[in-house]
Amino acid sequence: MRLTHKSFVALGVAFLSSLFLLGCKSTDFAESPPASSYPPPLIPPTVPVVQEARPAPSRPAVGGSVKTGDTLELFVEEDDAFNGTYPVREQGDIIIPSVGRIQVAGLSMGSAGERIKTELEVRHLKKATVLLDRVGRAAVAPESAAPRAPAAPVAPKLTVYMNGKVNRPGQHKVALPASGKVGVYEAILMAGGMSRFADPAGVHLLRNDSAGKKHKIPVNISNIEKGLEVDPPIGDGDIVVVPEKVFGF
């Protein structure tokens, strides 16, 4: 059968079409593996910080009877050898030289003065004119300790690294919001965003698995901006690589 010029053209077009189809099929082997095959992002746990309870401050006693811990000042008009300041001891008494112990705790100031006067007149003086003042007061124990402050959860911060065409490359601390995750695109924006000539479609992560091996995870920022893909969560220790856009001439 004799082939015409049109037949040769048709065969050529068919041959080129088959090559094109074969080339398209070969790209299937270059596709990225499914997201489930990548290691998950590492998120540090939220750490509760418990504030220690503080005891209520002590306050001085006001008025009332003589108490352990008070300090009394004694003045005896007839004999200044008994004059001085005397602490009310743990047993509730004061010790006056040459007189000994005199129980005063629980008494009013007037009754305490009368008891000291009686002891002096029984043991040393025919008549004792006693002046008694309280110059120091015992501290009243706090009614109750201040309640323990509730545990305040502290949101963890992710340490991420930006490399390539970003405005602020290097290490960054990214605080986790209440949702517990931050997207890769969000993290880039928090770190200052991409610089001029960045290729948003070629962004990728470098993430370690449990064995310490790094995995390259593609993140198409262009599709995320268009709402075609979900912004994947970034993890602690992730490295974000933003390549430069390649221009063809």
C-alpha to C-alpha distance for 153 and 139, rounded to whole angstroms: 37
CATH value at residue 184: 3.10.560.10
pLDDT at 55: 58
Does any domain span residue 223? yes
The beta strands (E) that lie in 78-225 are given as: 84-87, 93-96, 100-103, 130-136, 139-140, 152-154, 157-164, 170-175, 204-208, 214-218
Does any domain span residue 167? yes
Q: What is the mean pLDDT of the chain?
A: 79
Among residues 139, 168, 191, which one ends one of the domains? Answer: 139
Among residues 139, 166, 197, which one ends one of the domains? Answer: 139
Q: Report the percent of the chain where pLDDT is more than 70.
A: 71
pLDDT at 161: 95
pLDDT at 22: 47
Structure tokens at 186: 């969000």
**Tell me: the pLDDT tens digits for 85-99?**
899 998 889 988 888
Residue 90's domain comprises 59-139
Lowest mean pLDDT among 7-21, 54-68, 111-125, 129-143: 7-21
**Structurally, how many domains does the chain consist of?**
2
Question: Once rounded to an integer, what is the mean pLDDT over residues 165-184?
Answer: 90
- Is there a contact between 183 and 174 (Cβ–Cβ < 8 Å)? no
Same domain, 44 and 65: no
Range ranked top by mean pLDDT from 53-57, 144-148, 209-213: 209-213
**Tell me: the pLDDT tens digits for 136-146?**
887 665 555 55
* Stated pTM of the model: 0.47
Same domain, 161 and 238: yes
First vs last C-alpha separation in the chain: 47
